[in-house]
Amino acid sequence: MTEKPDNYRHIVRIANTDLVGTKHILYGMMKIPGVKLMYANAVLGIAGIDKTKKVGLLTDEDVKKIESALHSPEKMPTWLKNRRFDPETGEDKHLLTSDLKFTKDNDLKQLKKIKAYRGIRHMQGLPTRGQRTQGHFRRGRSLGVAKKKGKGGRV
């Protein structure tokens, strides 16, 4: 096993998420909610950091560069953002961490409140995108035909 340098950190905190120090930064950033491979690649390109560098070898300046690039999505192309044309403001955004979860929950609550078709399907626990339900989505409901309890022979 190779020795770790003195400045190696086992856990690095970026955007309120702990990243494992042994992974490449490109794949380690995918642990941050709202960041997938393409977005991580774009952030590292803007920050000017090598994609194959290990997370544990990042300096504090590198972490600051990454966080500033994460929180400034105006430099990113529109197709890369995860919330295009926000209904409230009308602008393109990219949400991260708890903001993403909070916004998604609010969107679902709004759909349920206005009783949109998708909201009703969410309330009933059924698929919302047109899938058939005869063979799938049967968890939590009665399945098949129940046998009668009785004499021990065939029913």
Percent residues over pLDDT 90 in the chain? 50
Average of pLDDT values for 105-118? 94
Model confidence band, residue 48 (pLDDT cutoffs 50, 70, 90) = very high
Report the pLDDT value the prediction gives residue 55, as an integer from 0 to 100: 92
Integer Cα distance of 108 and 14 in angstroms: 28
**Tens of pLDDT, residues 49-70:** 999 999 999 999 999 999 999 9
Handedness of CA 45, 50, 51, 56 (dihedral sign): negative
As a whole number of angstroms, the distance between CA 123 and CA 46 comes to 41
- Any residues with CB less than 8 A from the CB of 46 and at least 6 apart, and which? 69, 75, 76
The band of 28, judged by pLDDT with boundaries at 50, 70 and 90, is very high
- Answer whether 67's CB lies under 8 Å from 14's CB: yes
Q: How far is CA 39 from its chain centroid?
A: 12
**pTM beyond cutoff 0.85:** no
Confidence at residue 1, expressed as pLDDT on a 0 to 100 scale:
52
- CATH 3.40.50.720 assigned to domain 11-75? The reply is no
Place of tokens 């919330």: 83
Is pLDDT of 90 > 60? Answer: yes
The domain spans of the chain are 11-75, 80-124
Give the residues across from 12 on adjacent strands.
19
d(CA 7, CA 102): 36
- CA quadruple 118, 119, 120, 124: dihedral positive or negative? positive
Across 123-131, average pLDDT: 88
pLDDT recorded at residue 23: 92
User: How many CB atoms are closer than 10 A to CB 29?
Assistant: 25
Give yes or no for residue 83 having a pLDDT over 90: no
